[in-house]
Amino acid sequence: MGAPGKTTDAVLACGEVRTCLLPTREAVDQQVAERLLRLRADEPVRVSKRPNRYAVSPDVLTGVDCRLPTANGSKVRAVGTVTSRAALVEGRVLQATAYFSAPAGGPDRRRPWGYYLVRPGVLVPIGKVSPRAVAEGFLTRHHQDELDVGSIAEGQLSRISRLLADSFDPPLTTTDTRVRWAASPASDGDEPPLRFTVAEDGLRTLDLRLPPGTAPAAAAALCEDLALHDWLLTTVVDKLDGLRLGSADGKAALKVLRPLVDHLLHLWLPKARVERPLEALWDALEQEPGFSRQWETQVRRVRDQLLLQAILTQREALGASLTTS
């Protein structure tokens, strides 16, 4: 047996990040952020101000004992705990992550619960598993009785939403996104380090090959960062898509564009909390499909539209004053 809680023998890490707008009218300050993220009396909310304002709750554990999804349909039961946490970026975007790591094999029957509690965030299989089959199954399947880490992440969002029930007033409606990720150690093969797939209804999957020895927490942080920027991009693209362009209804356009400027455009800051060895994965996404490139195009569109509206409004006012005088 390795040292308790040690996860160096993990052959797989999987998780899900859910990203949404914090449903308050304005971004919240650090004090409120700490109140929302305080899950325990004896452990602080970690906050940082550089390179942007960020606060993250302590990790909490959820016990599970169920089947793991596998691509080949083989039945694998696992017991242990899933780690979850919630974080607030600039007091404006709320993210919840639930993740676990797994060794390739475990005891052939369930041990007393204390055995699992000293291995936080580890799901120990009953018997052996094929890491690849689980990674693929985790990304592609969802069966009712199998492990559901998404709901554990959602539980964090629900808890915070309930705290805000009295001041629930989002300045714009946005679609929540779910980034489901699986990370295996990179081998010498020519596999791409990352495969990012956009599915429908806010679901994305992320298949990662990470340098051996990467901590599951570091993988989770990378995925949170990718999820945040994917959500920003998704939201701005959606809003611009729905815009009735060229219409005389300038007010309607302004109603859509203004909240983007007020609440979202300043949040783009890739790699803010990504460990250096993992930055290369971000760079891969910058190459193809080019996250930042697309973002800059969208931001330009927002600004051009606003400029245009300003000119039109000015001209109207001018026209009005000319006819009245």
Query: 69 to 128, contacts with another protein by CB under 8 A?
Result: 77, 79, 81-82, 98, 110, 112-115, 117-118, 120
DSSP reduced 3-state for 54: strand
Number of Cα atoms under 13 Å in the Cβ half of residue 262 = 13
How many whole angstroms separate alpha carbon 14 and alpha carbon 78? 14
Applying the rule CB under 8 A, the residues between 172 and 201 that interact with another protein are: 173-176, 200-201
Shortest distance (Å) from residue 190 CB to another protein: 26
Name, in order, each residue with C-beta under 8 angstroms of 61's C-beta and a sequence gap of 6 or more: 81, 82, 83, 84, 117, 120, 121
Q: What is the Cα–Cα distance from 255 to 21, expressed in whole angstroms?
A: 17
Question: Would you say 145 or 288 has its CB closer to another protein?
Answer: 145
Assess contact for 20 and 86: CB atoms under 8 A: no
**Which residues ranging from 253 to 282 are in contact with another protein (CB under 8 A)?**
273-278
State yes or no: residue 40 binds another protein (CB under 8 A): yes
DSSP, res 57: P
Shortest Cβ 131–another protein spacing (Å): 20
Among positions 198, 252, 280, 310, the unique one binding another protein when judged by CB under 8 A: 252
Least distance to another protein, CB of residue 177, Å: 11
Instruction: Confirm or reject binding of residue 221 to another protein (CB under 8 A).
Output: yes
Using alpha carbons, select from 180, 185, 179, 215 the residue that is nearest to residue 104: 185
Of 31, 188, 190, 242, the residue at the interface with another protein (CB under 8 A) is 242
245/322 with CB nearer another protein: 245
Measured distance CA(17)–CA(27) in Å, rounded:
21
247 makes contact with another protein (CB under 8 A): yes
The region of 65-73, 283-291, 294-302, 310-318 touching another protein under the rule CB under 8 A is 65-73
User: Should residue 42 be labelled a site residue for another protein when binding is judged by CB under 8 A?
Assistant: yes
Residue 156 lies near another protein (rule: CB under 8 A): no
Q: How far is the CB of 195 from another protein (least distance, A)?
A: 23
Among 108, 165, 190, 323, which residue sits at the site for another protein (rule: CB under 8 A)? 165
- Residue 8 touches another protein, criterion: CB under 8 A: no
CA distance 161 to 155: 10
A 10 A CB-CB count for 195 gives 14
Rounded to whole angstroms, how far apart are CA atoms 309 and 128? 62
> Least Å distance between CB 149 and another protein?
6
